[in-house]
Amino acid sequence: MAKAKKEVNVKDDTFTKEQILNSKKFKTYKDALNVILNEDKQYTISQVEMLLTEFMKGKVN
């Protein structure tokens, strides 16, 4: 008899701007992230990494 598979919906953890700025992982990029991230929004680690990558590719005027 086959058992029904249960789908597990895994949600990535989200963090506030303050938590990200105080993390060891992003210590080097604290100034850039302070500009990029919004106070009233929460981000996953992958979102922060993507935003940071895009910001670092930007042109300097």
Q: What is the pLDDT along the chain (61 residues), one digit of tens a residue?
A: 566 666 656 678 999 999 999 999 999 999 999 999 999 999 999 999 999 999 999 877 6
Residue 41 buriedness (CB in 10 A; 0-12 / 13-18 / 19+): exposed
DSSP string covering 13-57: --B-HHHHHT-STTGGGHHHHHHHS-TT--B-HHHHHHHHHHHHH
Nearest to 52 by CA among 14, 19, 12, 25: 25
Note the pLDDT of residue 58.
83
Compute the distance between CA of residue 46 and CA of residue 57 in angstroms, rounded to an integer: 17
